[in-house]
Structure formats: structure tokens, C-alpha cells
Amino acid sequence: MNYIILDLEWDSTFFVKQKRFINQILQIGAVKLNENFDIIDTFEVTVKSAISKKVTGRFAKLTGITSEIMRKGIPFDKAVESYNLWVGDNAVTMTWSNSDLYTILENEGNLLEGVRFKIEKYLDLQKFIQREMHLKGYEDKNQVSLSLAAEFLKVSTDDIDFHTAKDDSLVAAYLLKKCYNKERFQPLIRDTSNPEFFAKLRFKSYCISNLKDQNIDKKYLIFHCPKCNAKAKKVTKWKYQNRWFVANFICDCGEKFNGRVTFKKTYDDLIVRQKICEYKEKKKTENSTEVTV
């Protein structure tokens, strides 16, 4: 089995056909590792845009890919075909966070016909490396960048040009080699042939704005007094405001408070947050809607 670390560079481009901006892939870079995580090959190709003749100044400054260089690239479908041939069979593909997968899906759906990136098994390498960093004392829970991970793990990047696809893949390979732990690495590998893999990826989390939604359990609309912990009585209708359902409550002990609850639906779960705020007199606001349950 081989391991592929894939990296993409993309530019925000206006897609006239859909009258919106998309993140168009303009460079594909990757490294191939053997079972000992030694680098055995590299891949890099610049993609010629099919929808724009220029790149943004920010993209050119970040990647070194100018409009002239981009126009000398190869068509996107040919680039993907070349990459797939290079990947071969029986490989685990890794990217630094799954954001590249979202961009791949967007580009496949809008710019490709009859060809798709070859990803048979997948692992989020950023997720694995950051877990290993936490075990070594790293405390920040925000998503860690490649450069910060390299700095923390003392991986040399002297000859690396960050924000070029192949070099970013090389750094990720060095980090994997340094952090690999079989017991913690193998369970993170996902089989992309499972229909739920891409269904979950395509699912967009959303906040529920209707209290009659079947995902909501009415027990989450019950609030207890912060003073005596008894069940409080709701004395106003629910109002939906800024993604929160809001109502006033009064307890038999005389305590008054404002109860708030929000529901966020993800592919796997319903995330519920409740909070108690200062009692507010009932008044209508432009951004609120009264809800009867």
C-alpha cells in the first residue's frame, strides 16, 4: 500500500455560468510515500483555467503562479487524468484538513465531465497531526497550519516554499513521518466507497428556525430556575431571533429570567445550546418572529 499526500492551490474566480464565485483549482501537487512513509515520488501540475484568463493578485503573490504561468498550464480534465494515473491503485489519500475535499467536489461538479479525482481511501492528516501535537503539549484547539505544526514539531522548512502544492505536501509528509503512530493513525482511514462518506461531506449544517421541526425534542424548551432549580413557567411566546429561540420565564420562587435555546443540525447530530439571561420586558423587534408551540 502507498500513501498519497495531496495538496491543491485554488483561486476565487467568478463563474459566469452560475453568476457566482467558485474556488477554482489551479495547481495540483502531491507526494507518494511507501509503507515506511519514505517519499518515493512527487507530482505537480499547473492547471489552465477554463473560465478566467487572469488570477487574482493575492493568489499570484501567495503561490508565485502568475496569470501568464496559469495560461501555460494544462486543461483541468487532463491534469486530473494525469494525477489519477500517477496515484495508481491501493493508496490512502491524505490532505491537510478536509477543506480540499470540498473544493474538489465543487470543481468536479462544475468543471469536469466524465473524470473524478481518484480517492479510494481517505484520511484527514491535519486532524491526526494536531491530535499528536496535543499529546506532546500543544494546547491551542484552533485548526493548526502547516507552518505552525512544523515549528512546534521542529521540522525544518528551510528549503520549502509554502503555498505551493508540492512543497506543502512535502512538509505534511515530514510531519507524518515524525508523528506516525499505528494505533492512532489506522482508525482514521475512511473508505470513500461508503455512500455516507460523501453524503456527510456534502451536508451543510444549519440552524433550525421552526420549533415544529421533527428533530427538536420539546424537553429542550423546558427551563429550570437558576435560583432554586425548580421548573419555571414560560410567560411569553417563543421568538426566533438571531438563531435563538427566546422567551421569558417566571419561577414560583419569584425569580424571573430570559431563556434562550438554539438548535444546529449536523449530519450526525443535533447540537443544542441553552442559556439563561436577564429578564426582558416583551417588545417586538424587526429581526424577531413569534412562534407558537
Please list the pLDDT of the chain residue by residue as tens digits (293 residues): 899 999 999 999 999 988 999 999 999 999 999 999 999 999 999 999 999 999 999 999 999 999 999 999 999 999 999 999 999 999 999 999 999 999 999 999 999 998 999 999 999 999 999 999 999 999 998 999 999 999 999 999 988 888 899 999 999 999 999 999 999 999 999 999 888 898 888 898 999 999 999 999 999 999 999 999 999 999 999 999 999 999 999 999 999 999 999 999 999 999 999 999 998 776 554 455 656 55
Q: Which three cell numbers, joined as nine digits, stand for 237?
A: 411566546
Q: What's the pLDDT at 221?
A: 97
Q: What's the pLDDT at 23?
A: 95
Q: What's the pLDDT at 286?
A: 47
Measured at the CA of 181, the angle between CA 193 and CA 149, to 5 degrees, comes to 95
Q: What's the pLDDT at 97?
A: 92
Q: What's the pLDDT at 159?
A: 84
CA distance 9 to 45: 11
User: DSSP state, 215?
Assistant: T
Q: Which three cell numbers, joined as nine digits, stand for 243?
A: 438563531
Q: What's the pLDDT at 282?
A: 62
CA distance 123 to 33: 14
Domains of the chain and CATH, by start: 2-202 (3.30.420.10), 206-291 (no CATH)
The Cα-based distances of 88 to 69, 82, 128, 174, 177 in angstroms read: 28, 11, 24, 22, 21
- Dihedral sign for Cα atoms in the order 132, 121, 198, 108: positive
Pairing of strands 256-265, 270-277: antiparallel
